[in-house]
Amino acid sequence: MHTEPTTPFFIARGQEQQGPLPRRELERLLRTGELQPTDRCWTEGMEDWAEIVTLLPFPQPPPEPELQTETETFNPYTPPQANLARIRPASHYGGIGRGTYFAGSFVLGIIQVVASETLGEESPATMAVLAATVIVSIGLVYQRLKNIGLSSWWCLAMIVPILNILVGLRCTVCQEGWADSRTLDSTGRTLCWVLGIFFVLVVAAMLALG
């Protein structure tokens, strides 16, 4: 699996976890012996946890043995370590992805335009169609927010002007599980650039026509 130097990783050692860490940090920890090649890691796109050596297959110097200074005993009052299950692989988020969300929103927009043109903008039938598409749109946002890893209650923001634009933009550009890393993938960054350029062109056209 090919990874970029800044790809975030999560590390699991026993019942302890670390992350997200960029690939360069993993390489440094391996060189210093703070991590072992057999320690397990996970990053976006992986179906399950795997040994670090399977993703970073370069030789590492063996760490110096640590001196055992005291006998480790089980303490029943020790606070439990964080559960590794809270870091979920991206495929376990549920909801719908960017492609499905975009396609659904596009179809709803077409339905609204067709209803307005064929039934009349002020007709009761058009109002009913528009209301139905708004409800379906909120359902799409609900499922998309779940996929991103954000609270699905944000779907109610779709009925609030300005705020609905911000929520819709996040639903469009954020990848599955974005809430864990708070970092856009390459597709998300490309979409941001495309939408930004489109917005600038629209504003420029409005100013020119005005």
In a domain, 205, yes or no: yes
- Give the pLDDT score at 4: 55
Asked, for residue 82, whether it belongs to a domain, the answer is no
Q: Is 48 helix (H, G, I), strand (E, B) or coil?
A: coil
Q: Which of 19, 40, 61 is the last residue of a domain?
A: 61
> Coil, strand, or helix at residue 175?
coil
127 and 48 together in one domain: no
Secondary structure of residue 120 in the 3-state scheme? coil
Question: What global pTM score does this model have?
Answer: 0.53
| Residue 62 phi, psi dihedral angles, 5° rounding | -65, 140
Q: Examine the domain organization and report whether 133 and 55 are in the same domain.
A: no
Q: Of 66, 81, 69, which is closest to residue 33 (Cα–Cα)?
A: 66
Burial 118-137 (b: 16+ CB within 10 A, else e): eeeeeeeebeebbeebeeeb
Q: What is the pLDDT of residue 197?
A: 92
116 and 200 together in one domain = yes
> For every one of its 210 residues, what pLDDT tens digit does the chain have, with 9 covering 90 and above?
555 556 677 777 666 777 777 778 778 877 887 777 777 788 877 777 777 777 765 544 555 666 555 555 656 666 655 454 455 454 567 889 888 998 999 999 899 889 888 888 888 888 898 889 989 989 999 999 988 988 888 888 888 888 888 888 889 999 888 888 888 889 989 989 998 998 899 888 888 887
Distance from C-alpha of 98 to C-alpha of 147, rounded to nearest angstrom: 9
Determine the pLDDT at residue 85: 46
- Strands across the sheet containing 50-51: 16-21, 9-13, 40-42, 50-51
Q: Which domain holds residue 166?
A: 95-209
Residues 113 and 25 in one domain: no
Q: Determine the Cα–Cα distance for residues 174 and 106; give it in Å rounded to an integer.
A: 18
**104 and 35 fall within a common domain:** no
Say if residue 53 is in the same domain as residue 155.
no
Is residue 11 situated within a structural domain? yes
Residues 56 and 135 occupy one common structural domain: no
